[in-house]
Structure 1
Amino acid sequence: MSTWKNIMLQDSASPLMEQLAYFHDHTLLILVIITMLVSQLLISLFFNKFTHRLLLEGQMIEIIWTILPSITLIFIAIPSLSLIYILDEINSPMISIKTIGHQWYWSYEYSDFSNIEFDSYMIPMTDLEKFNFRLLDVDNRMIIPYETNIRMLITAADVIHSWTVPSLGVKVDATPGRLNQMSFSINRSGLFFGQCSEICGANHSFMPIVIESISPKYFINWISKLN
């Protein structure tokens, strides 16, 4: 069971990831049907002369081979375009957070609150506690409230990075001199891990991302203590 889970998508923690998982399953089903159909036809061509003649002769089969791929592409394109629109939409964010990629750590700035900014470094293996995850835990987590629309403003200070959290369906390039943005919301509390998914140098694999989702009440208390 653990091996099967490792090759599947992570459990979704946001509406965006739920839609991405649905589109993945939808497209995979279409690909499986196409693969089975083509495999069956290829096998039939080897052993059945009638099928061979039917598939190579006649105008009707040419019309079918033209129409079927077009219909298939429509079934894939419609949910795909809808999903692209949802991913790019910034809808009334309640909190804006700016993240800056460095070699090799992340910085976070809570733009809606004064004097709240910090760096987030990976915890060295020599300092790990029993409850920490190797190469994934950081000294300062990004704290956000769940069921709240968050806008992320993402850039970099040196080279191109990529701010990626798979369970949230988030992957945005951090480009020097450019400010990218995206929005998401988390539907439950917990810890969510990610990593830079752009090859950004020697320590590319040592700049993880950790998001801690808490209730809005506890988030307000956390903000009050930092102010």
Structure 2
Amino acid sequence: MAYPSQLGFQDAASPLMEELLHFHDHALMIVILISTMVLYTIMAMVTAKVTDKLILDSQEIEIIWTILPAVVLILIALPSLRLLYLMDEINSPHLTVKAVGHQWYWSYEYTDYEEVAFDSYMIPTQDLAPGHFRLLEADHRMVVPTESPVRVLVSAEDVLHSWAVPALGVKVDAVPGRLNQTTFLVSRPGVFYGQCSEICGANHSFMPIVVEAVPLYNFETWVTLMAEDS
């Protein structure tokens, strides 16, 4: 969960988000090095007269600043491609959940269980319990087991939506008539918040996503209670 005056991303709750944070830091260091080198070159040209010979008429310098951008692109592209393939990999999920976006709420269907399906609406501000977060709490949470690969099938009933949970490193467009999918593995118990990240209408900012990760035993108990209530 984010907190006031926070710098950087939320704490990672999945291996995928940890990889995304590592790639962000890797790319940021390259940007800092490039910015420092360009700033140094500009300052040297402004302050030193001998720079005209060393930089403007140097064959070696021209070779370096032609090859160096290609090397930088390779240093960014290789880990980026690895991460893209990792994000698209769906490898034997233990649980499949279908998330459908509506104006303006989410509905969830646990496809491995015939009778477990529910709608998830934002809790109005006047009904919030102590400790709940305004505009982020939902009346029904999406409950998943920890340390288990979870596949999420995402679609929409009416307009474009986007199912996004920053702490899990997940953001998938919900497109009417199409079925997108993503996978994640929650590495620790907790409650993780997200919101629709597509401008989907007047109440776009009022359809939160709440993912609660619990141990497998507690998840099985929850599934049994949900099936009995339905």
* TM-score (norm: length of structure 1): 0.97
Where does structure 1 lack aligned partners over 5 or more consecutive residues? Answer: none
Matches within 5 A, 1:40-189: 40-189=40-189
Map of 1:194 onto structure 2: 194
- Rounded to whole Å, the distance in 2 between the matches of 1:16 and 1:65 is 34
Q: Which whole-Å deviations, capped at 9, do the CAs of 1:38-91 have from their partners, x for residues lacking one?
A: 001100100111123211103211111111111111110110000000000001
Q: In structure 2, give the amino acid aligned to 1:198.
A: E
CA contact (8 A) 1:192 1:210 kept: yes
CA apart distance, 1:136:
0.4
Match of 2:60, SS state, is helix
Once residues 163 and 52 of structure 2 are traced to their aligned partners in structure 1, the CA distance between those partners, rounded to angstroms, is: 52
Counterpart Cα distance in 2 of 1:225 and 1:19: 36
Q: Which residue of 1 aligns with 2:20?
A: 20
* Residues 3, 128 of structure 1: alpha-carbon distance in 2 compared, 3 angstrom cutoff: closer
- Report the more deviating stretch, 54-63 or 215-224: 54-63
CA displacement, residues 15-34 of structure 1 (integer Å, 9 cap, x when unaligned) = 00000000000000000010
Unaligned runs of 5+ in 2: none
Q: CA RMSD in A?
A: 1.0
- 8 Å CA contact 1:143–1:219 kept in 2: the answer is yes
Q: Give the conservation status (yes or no) of the 8 Å contact 1:44–1:52.
A: no
Structure 1 position 3, deviation (Å): 5.5
What's 1:10 paired with? 10
Q: Aligned partner of 2:118: which letter?
A: F
CA deviation after TM superposition for structure 1 residue 4, in Å: 5.0
Question: How far apart are the structure 2 equivalents of 1:51 and 1:71?
Answer: 25
Secondary structure class of the residue paired with 2:50: helix
- How many positions carry a matched residue from both structures? 225
CA distance in 2, matches of 1:52, 1:200: 55
Q: Is the 8 A contact 1:162 1:172 kept in 2?
A: yes
After TM superposition, the score normalised by the length of structure 2 is 0.96
Tell which deviates more after alignment, 31-40 or 54-63.
54-63
**Number of the residue aligned with 2:34:** 34
Deviation string, structure 1 residues 180-223 (Cα, Å, up to 9, x no partner): 00100000000000000100000000000000100000111111
